[in-house]
Amino acid sequence: MARRKKTEKNNSSQPNIKGVIKGAGDVVNQEIVSTIKENYMPYAMSVILSRAIPEIDGFKPSHRKLLYTMYKMGLLGPTRTKSANIVGQTMKLNPHGDSAIYDTMVRLSRGYEALLHPYVDSKGNFGKFYSRDMAWAASRYTEAKLDSICNELFKDIDKDTVDFVDNYDNTLKEPTLLPATFPSVLVNANTGIAVGMASSICSFNLRELCETTIALIKDKNHDIMTTLPAPDFIGGGQIIYDVNTLKNIYQTGRGSFKVRGTYNYDSSANCIDVLSIPPTTTSEAIIEKIIDLVKGGKIKEISDVRDETGIDGLKITIDLKRNIDPDFLMQKLYKMTPLEDSFACNFNVLIAGVPRVLGVRELLEEWIAFRVECVRRRTAFDLEKKQSKLHLLKGLEKILLDIDKAIKIVRETAEETEVVPNLMIGFGIDEIQAEYVAEIKLRHLNREYILKRTKEIEELEKEISELEAILSSKTKVKNIIVSELKDVSKKYGKDRVSTLINPEDIKEVEIVPEITDYPVNLYFTKEGYFKKITPLSLRMSGEQKLKEGDFICQSYESTNTADLLFFTNKCQVYKAKAADFPDTKASVLGEFVAAKLGMDEEELPVSMIVTKDYEGFMLFGFENGKLAKVPLNVYATKTNRKKLTGAYSDKSPLADIMFISEDCDIVMTSTSGRMLLLHSGSIPLKTTRSTQGVAAMRLKKGHILMKIEKYEEGRFVNPNRYRSKTLPTLGALPSGEEAENLQLKLE
């Protein structure tokens, strides 16, 4: 048994050194940075370059290998074959399990309904893109072939239009890209997650895309949105056409736009039929969400919901109760379920092996450059073939001018190996031409053959001249691309499936959950605890349970629908409903408000206000002796905001907060013991929440305002003693009798 070596103790404070078991019992110190470079980075690069990110032809390697295998199997014709056969053949190029390859084929198939223009013509159960639970049949039961649009993917692939490389075991060749004659990278949706990056490309209408590409070839400054207004999805749906949002996506390649499902209302059956859903969700997810909303009491208009998807396609049926407005209900469902969802775009594409996030214009320009190279390579290939053939025919032409001489040379040559050299010498032709002539059959040495070959020379010279003109003119190359795009648009173009709706045409509905209203008693303690207790429970309860040293500082009799405003020590106010808190008993501590409402660190509530109509005023007393009077309605918001910053001024520390329903007498008390009695009507009303207020009580050095409270009749023997005609004022110290009464109250 090997003895484990002791490692030297690493005294370095660097955290990137770790003991790693190297081999049989050996332990070595190795830097994590170098481990990542050696092991993780190659994996990350492999995922990015060879798995998750599509290239300019619109395909990931797994897609390309599968389609090319099917092309080599002759499946571009009318005949289908078993999917299992295709999967098995694809393993020669893609060394993954049969399940992964079959899953790839399913997602490219017509039956799966994920692509606007599917590449695989399928037969059998291939599942559905919009269903999470509808599983596809095993590969041994289904059949497939290439769809007709694949003619455009493999057109002239055997004419050196793209590079070929060895497969994983160097036994076969496979293309690095497919020479697609249309911008397939934007025609079909494509998503992928790599290491540290991802790609999400939405689909566009083929006809609109071809038209846009043609316009861009003719004019670099073409406004893309005039011919390509928005994406298009096979499932249809409605795209909320926010021009600025889509323009940003077109320019940057990043962003998101909203898609919502479509529906019909069947008045005879009193039900809504949802016929399309966003491409980011499934029918099961929508149904489950609706059921949860119904069970939670948030939606009460629905009596039943079920999936009626069948041979005619997607269909979710929602049965309604009587006298329900279907359009209003759907607006609620759009807001509360995935029936309206966002499609996040991230146009991340590999360009020359480098991942780049490009806008639509840049992507089309890259595709045009790629396609220009394909056409040039094809033209150069055709030119070379025709030049080679012309070269042979030129040699044949010289022979045919004097056939008898050629026959004589062949007959008089003693050895077979000397036939070609003698023909070269006799007619002044090269070896290739001589080999071609020597292989001519005797039956071809007739007048008809000679005339045909001579005429073919003229045609070849004309074709070669045209091909050379194409190679020397970028305009002619682009004209060829334009012509091909027009053919593709005519053959395979379809009308737009997804409709566009203006955001201004959408009726916004405010979803207010139905709250049961009943009388409640509300309590707020000095330590920030809250209790909501029903009158019945309160009558049956004993003493209020509180933390040691805590006491109830505010109590209200209200109802379950009341609004609660919790002012904090951080100049913020948090809004809640009484219904947000559970009914409790006097024998429990209650809810800790700071935790319940998610307040900031070290933030605590200092006062609670209960209201239904936001009538009345807030009085804020600051330690510097100022009073601020703010109408309560400035804290009422149209949206359901839970937190408002700048609830009151932060120029001086807050001494006390008080709510008054109407103007009344209040008492201000300082730490020096002086008290000031004034009417709140003398404090000017300010509609700005952060107002600093007005100076009301003048304070002696070292003293601050301690509290403000409502004046109770009979508290002072002589109230006028504490009043002042002008503000600010010092206030008055309590008289002997009042001081004794105050002392008794404190005790």
Go through the chain and tell me how many residues it has.
Answer: 747
Of 569, 696, 556, give the one whose Cα is nearest residue 629. Answer: 696
In angstroms, the Cα distances linking 181 to 178, 213, 607, 688 are: 9, 11, 70, 64
Q: Is 33 helix (H, G, I), strand (E, B) or coil?
A: helix
Q: At residue 627, what are phi and psi to the nearest 5 degrees?
A: -120, 135
Two tokens at 588? 């429990």
Interacting residues of 667 by C-beta distance below 8 A, sequence separation 6+: 675, 676, 677, 708, 709, 710, 711, 715, 722
Q: At residue 314, what are phi and psi to the nearest 5 degrees?
A: -65, 140
Q: At residue 373, what are phi and psi to the nearest 5 degrees?
A: -65, -40
Report how far residue 291's alpha carbon sits from residue 665's, in angstroms, rounded to the nearest whole number.
55
Catalytic site includes residue 40: no
For residues 485 and 181, is the Cβ–Cβ distance under 8 A? yes
Count of H helices and E strands in the chain? Answer: 20, 34
User: C-alpha angle 88/92/95, rounded to 5°?
Assistant: 90
Q: At residue 83, what are phi and psi to the nearest 5 degrees?
A: -60, -35
Percentages (nearest 5) of helix, strand, coil residues in the chain: 35, 25, 40
- 537-543 CB contacts, 8 Å cutoff, 24+ apart: 537/583, 537/585, 537/586, 538/586, 541/585, 541/586, 541/587, 542/586, 542/587, 543/586
Report how far residue 587's alpha carbon sits from residue 675's, in angstroms, rounded to the nearest whole number.
38
> What residues are paired with 17 via a beta bridge?
31
Of 107, 106, 109, 104, give the one whose Cα is nearest residue 120. Answer: 109
Report how far residue 166's alpha carbon sits from residue 342's, in angstroms, rounded to the nearest whole number.
41
Q: At residue 513, what are phi and psi to the nearest 5 degrees?
A: -65, 140
From the list 40, 43, 141, 518, the catalytic residue is: 141
Write down the residue that tokens 């069948």 correspond to. Answer: 310
User: C-alpha angle 354/359/365, rounded to 5°?
Assistant: 75
For residues 442 and 435, is the Cβ–Cβ distance under 8 A? no
Q: Which positions are catalytic?
A: 141
